[in-house]
Chain A
Amino acid sequence: MRYGKWWVTRRLTFLLILALFLVSARSGVNVLVGNYSGSTFLGVIPAVDPLLAIQSYFATGGLYQTAIIGAVLVGALYLVVGGRAFCGWVCPLGVVVDFANWLSRKLKIKRPFQGFSSSTKYYMMGIVLVGATISGVALYEMYNPVSILHRAILFEGVGIGAVSWMIVGILFLYELGVARSGWCKSLCPQGAFYSTLGKFSLMKVVANEGRGSIPKNIGEVCPEPAALVNILNHERQNGECTLCGACVDYAGNGSLSFTLKPGS
C-alpha cells in the first residue's frame, strides 16, 4: 500500500509537532515555544538543533549551557529514533518537498536532472562548518531553507513574510520540475548531519528473509535510493534512510520492517 499505516503515523506526528509549535506561538500556552532550531518543551526541557549549535560554537568559540543541553538531548533522541527520522517525521521542508514530488508525479512532469550525488550534502556540511570557523559568523543558519520555512510558518507577521516564502518556493519548484529529492538527498547540510547520526542510530529499516518477496518497483516509493540499496544489500547502515516507512508500507508483507536494535 502506498499510503499505509506508517505514512499515516508519520504525517500525524509531523502535524502534532507543528500544531504544538503553532498553538504555543499563537495562544501563549507554553507547550512547545520557539521553532525547530531551538525550543522549550513544557517550560523546562530545552531543544536545540545540534548542527546549529556546532556552527555557533565553531563561529564564536563558545556555547551557552542551555544550548549544549538542548543540542545533546536532540542528538540523543535521533540516535534512538534514527538520524534522519528528523527528515522523515519532523522537518517541514521535507513535507513541502514530498508534496512537490507527489505533484510532479501526478502531473507526469519529466524531471531532467538526476540530482547531485547523495554524498554532496556531506561536502555542503563541511563547507558550512569550515566557513563558520574561518569567518566567525554562522552564516548558513541565516539562510538555511529549513529554518527559513519554519520561521515563516511560526513567525509570520513578526518581521517575516514574502521573501522567506519565495525562497521556499524556489526549492518547491526545484523538486517539482528539476530533480527528485534534489534538495534533501543531495544538498541539505542538516540532512547530512542527521545522516551522520543515522549511521549509529538504533532504529532502522531492515530487509527480512523468508517473509515474501519485495515488490520490483519498490525504488519508486523510497525518496532516498542510496538508503534502499543499503537496506536490500544488508549492509552496515549508511544513515541515508529517513525512516519514512514508505517501503515498509509498500511491501506490506513484513519483508521490510522497522527494528530497534544496535548494529546492522
Chain B
Amino acid sequence: MDTSVTQSHGSGVDRSAKSGRPPVGMTTTRRGFLSLGGFVGVVGGGVALAVLSSGAEKRVYAQRPPGALKEMEFISRCVKCGQCVRACPYDSILMGEPGSGVAPGTPYLVARNVPCYMCEDIPCVPVCPSGALDHGLTDINKATMGLAVLSDRENCIALQGLRCEVCFTACPIQGQAITLEYRVNERTRRHSIFEPVVHSDKCTGCGKCEHACILEEPAIKVMAVKQVKGKLGRHYRFGWLEEGQ
C-alpha cells in the first residue's frame, strides 16, 4: 500500500504541512506483520531455507585455518569478516565465493598453492572475533586443519622405487607426521622402496607435503579428517594392542 505514496501525496503533503493534519489516505502499514498469514509465510519460508541449507553439509571439503571448529558449526559461527585472512603473514588464507564449493565468506586454504606455515604464535586465531577459530588452540602442533593422505599410490614415485622423500622432508613435524617405511623393491630385488606413511595423531593438515609434492598433480593430499579416517567399530579388536596395555 505504501508503494502508491509517491504518486498520491503531491497535494497531500502541502496540506499537512500547513494544517498539521495527517493528509488523507496516508497511513503506514505494518499492522499485518503478526497475522496468521504472515506467521505461516515466515515459518514456511524458514523451512524452505532450512531445506536449502541442508545442502551445505554436502559441500566439498575445504582445508580450514588452524583451530577451526567442526565444519557445520564453523560455517555458522564465522562472521565472515576476513580478519584471519589479513592476519596470515603468508597469505595462505582465502575467502569462499558463491559457486566456489566452499561456504561463501568463510576462510579456507588451498594447500597446493599456499599451505599453512604453522606460525608458532598462530596470528590467525586470536584475531577471530567469533571464536570460529578456537582461541584455546595455542600450540600449532595440535592443530587439525585436515589430514594428509597418500591418495595416489600408483603415481607416487617413491612407491615405484625412486628416491623422492620430498613430502617427508617438507613436513614440519619431521619424522613424526610422515615416516618413511622401507621394504625390498620386488621389481629390482636389489633396491628398497621408501614409502611415506602419514600418522594421523601427529599430522596437523598444514598441507606442506601436498604443496611440495613434485608431481604435476600431488599424490599426497590434505583432506578432512572425517573423509580419510576409518572407524573400527565394536566388532573388531586388535588383540595384540590390547595385550600390550
Residues in chain A within 8 A of chain B (CB atoms): 24-25, 33-35, 37-40, 46, 48-49, 52-53, 55-56, 59-60, 62-67, 70, 114-115, 117-119, 122-124, 126-143, 147-148, 151, 154-155, 158-161, 163-164, 167, 207, 209, 213-214, 216-220, 225-226, 228-230, 232-235, 238, 240, 255
Contacts and interface: CB of A to CB of B under 8 A. Distances in A.
Interface of B: 1-6, 9-11, 13-14, 16-18, 20, 22-23, 26-30, 32-33, 38, 41-43, 45-54, 56-57, 72-73, 75-77, 79-83, 85-86, 91, 93-100, 102-106, 108, 127, 129-132
A137 B28 contact: no
The 8 closest A-B pairs by CB, nearest first: A130-B46, A131-B49, A64-B131, A38-B81, A159-B94, A127-B45, A126-B42, A135-B50
Does more than half of chain A's interface fall in helix, strand or loop, or is it mixed? helix
Contact of B13 (A123, A133, A216): A216
Contact of A139 (B32, B49, B102): B49
A130 B4 contact: no
Nearest to A133: B46
A229 B26 contact: yes
Contacts, number: 253
Contacts of A240: 28
Contacts of A154: 82
A229 B5 contact: yes
B98 A164 contact: yes
B11 A129 contact: no
A139 B75 CA distance: 9
Nearest to A65: B131
A60 to B, nearest CB: 5
Nearest to B88: A158
Contacts of B27: 229, 233
Contacts of A138: 75-76
A63 to B, nearest CB: 8
Contact of B29 (A25, A55, A117): A117
A43 to B, nearest CB: 10
A143 B98 contact: yes
B5 A219 contact: yes
Contacts of A119: 29-30, 32-33
Nearest to B79: A38
Nearest to B85: A158
A35 B32 contact: no
Given A158-B93, A159-B95, A226-B5, A66 B29 contact: no
B133 to A, nearest CB: 10
Given A216-B14, A219-B5, A233-B26, A39 B83 contact: yes
Contact of B131 (A67, A122, A134, A140): A67
B116 to A, nearest CB: 15
B46 A225 contact: no
14 contacts: A33-B127, A35-B82, A52-B79, A114-B3, A117-B2, A117-B3, A119-B30, A126-B45, A127-B41, A134-B50, A142-B106, A164-B97, A216-B11, A225-B2
